[in-house]
Chains A and B, each alone.
Chain A
């Protein structure tokens, strides 16, 4: 059974810091992994999608890496801004299924 864990559960940093969010999964037979952000009471916004054959993806100040063999992904946010404050979720899709399993998220607060 695939389980997805995100550490830390909450993080508070001053503006301008670079930070790393972690996502680990127990079954390395994944099809892809996706990172999302969610603002309070809202739906999810896709940030980055990494296929199982890829090692990393970049979009602006965001960089996501994937290490299937160790069951880990990291989301790196450079030069954090107060507007980055949100909950960040990772989701994995196991090979042979259409089902996505989500972690419980990391609540990020960037202080001005």
Chain B
């Protein structure tokens, strides 16, 4: 297993276009997180999945953002009608939950979005 992968690594789009990012977690991991990071800031939580269920979503996430994790494997994050303020690094992380333990998060390399 090579870790968490994200595609594409870079995306440049024009304002108003829709974009979709993909995250493939570590295969046995049942937890998946999406974060957004802007320059000089720490990652900001967007949403969380346990298996295929989306259990938590940030209030900062507008209706233009949607995430899915069909079959509890890979996940997609879609941004509709992109705005310049959406320009950021989008990070995916996965971890494994077994019983009361919660193991550490492993991050992917991120997708850098630039909205022109």
Contact = CB atoms under 8 A, between A and B. Distances in A.
Interface of A: 4, 31-32, 34, 36, 41-46, 49, 51, 89, 91, 93, 97-105
In which size bucket is the chain B interface? 20 to 34
Of residues B40, B105, B106, B110, which shows the largest number of chain A Cβ atoms within 10 Å of its Cβ?
B105
B109 A42 contact: yes
Given A98-B56, A99-B48, A99-B56, A89 B42 contact: yes
A31 B102 contact: yes
Contact of A99 (B58, B102, B104): B58
Interface of B: 4, 31, 33, 35, 40-45, 48, 50, 55-56, 58, 91, 93, 102-110, 112
Contacts of A93: 102
A43 B104 contact: no
Given A34-B104, A98-B48, A43 B110 contact: yes
Of residues A32, A46, A98, A103, which shows the largest number of chain B Cβ atoms within 10 Å of its Cβ?
A98
Of residues A4, A45, A99, which shows the largest number of chain B Cβ atoms within 10 Å of its Cβ?
A99
Of residues A36, A42, A44, A100, which shows the largest number of chain B Cβ atoms within 10 Å of its Cβ?
A44
Nearest to B92: A43
A18 B102 CA distance: 30
Contact of A101 (B45, B50, B105, B108): B45
Contact of A46 (B40, B50, B105, B109): B105
B39 to A, nearest CB: 10
A93 B91 CA distance: 17
B3 to A, nearest CB: 9
A4 B45 CA distance: 13
Contact of A100 (B33, B40, B50): B33
Given A32-B102, A43-B91, A44-B91, A100 B45 contact: yes
B64 to A, nearest CB: 20
A104 B39 CA distance: 10
